[in-house]
Each structure stands twice: as structure tokens, then as C-alpha cells.
Structure 1
């Protein structure tokens, strides 16, 4: 299999694969796999990969507490509308993957 990193959809395909791994981590409740996803994501960003909004799937939602790999659910005062993830989760994930915010539990090394 040949991978073309200049392919216009390369970033989306990379993050799609990461979402599939996150779904597996959620199925098995594997915190080590979540940590690995974050490390890989940070390395990809350091190498110039662009972040996609769906990266919020890699962390627990601060609004509805959906675990990594799970979609958000509607909660009183925070409806989803047509979104799959709460905006707060997307923002948290972007900041955490860039290193601008600490990882939330259970991923934070304490």
C-alpha cells in the first residue's frame, strides 16, 4: 500500500484512522491506548498535520462525559443540534493536543 502524504485528503484520512483507534479504545476501555492516540496526534501536529474538528473524539467530553471514542449526547442546556460533539469537547481536544491545556483525567499523568 502506497501512502501519498500530499494527497488532499491525507489529514482527514489520518484523523479518520485515529478515530477508529479511539473507538477501539472505548470498546476496551484502554487508557494506555488513549494516551498513545494523544502522543501520535501531538507528533502529527508537530510535523505539520492539520487538526480536524472530529479530534474531540479522542478525549472525554467535559459537558456530557462521553468517553473517548463515543459520540456526545444531548444534555439539558447543551443540545447538540446537528453536531456529533459538543463545541467544548472540540476546543478542549484542540488545546490538549497542541499542549496548550493539560490532558483531562484519566489521561493526565498524575
Structure 2
């Protein structure tokens, strides 16, 4: 199989795969798998892969407490509009994956 990294949606496909792996880590309560996924994400960012909004799926939502891999839900004062994730979750994920804030524990 040949993968074209310059394909227009290759970045989104990468993060979709990472999101699916993070959901599996949550489902199986596997902290080691989750930490490996974060290492891969950080390495990808270091190599120039852009961060996309779906990267918020890696973390627990600070607004509605949706788990890793789950979509957010509407809560008073924080409507989702057309998004699947709260803006605060997306922002937190970007900072955590870039190492700007400590990575919150993803599993409960």
C-alpha cells in the first residue's frame, strides 16, 4: 500500500486515526496506549503536521466531560452550533499536545 502524504486530506485522516486509537484507549482503560498516542501526536507536530480541530477528541472535555473519543454535548452557556467539540476542548488539546500545559489524565 502506498500512502501519499501530500494528499489533500491526509492530515485529517491521520488525526481521525489517532482519534479512533484514543477512543479505544478510553474504552479499554489503557493509559499506556493513550500516552503512546500522545507521543505520536507530538512527534507529528514536530515534523510539521498541522493540528486540526478533531484533535480535541483526545482529551476529556472541560465543559461537558465527554470522554476521549466522544462527541461533546450541548450544555447551558456552551452551545455546539455546527461543531462536534466545544471550543475550549479544542484549545486545551492544542496546548496539551504542543506541551504548553500538562496533559490531563484521559481515562477515568
TM-score if structure 2 supplies the norm length? 0.90
* 8 A Cα contact 1:26 1:67, kept in partner: yes
**1:104 offset after TM fit, Å?**
1.2
Q: Deviations over 1:72-97 (max 9, x none)?
A: 11122212122110000000000111
Q: Which runs of 5+ in 2 are unaligned?
A: none
Distance 1:103 1:11 in 2: 22
Q: Which runs of 5+ in 1 are unaligned?
A: none
* Pairs within 5 Å for 1:49-68: 49-68=49-68
Residue 75 of structure 1 is matched in structure 2 by 75
Task: Tell me if 1:24 matches 2:24.
Answer: yes
**1:23 offset after TM fit, Å?**
2.0
Q: Deviations over 1:15-40 (max 9, x none)?
A: 11111112212222222222111111
Note the aligned Cα RMSD (angstroms).
Answer: 1.5
* Pairs within 5 Å for 1:34-45: 34-45=34-45
* 8 A Cα contact 1:12 1:52, kept in partner: yes
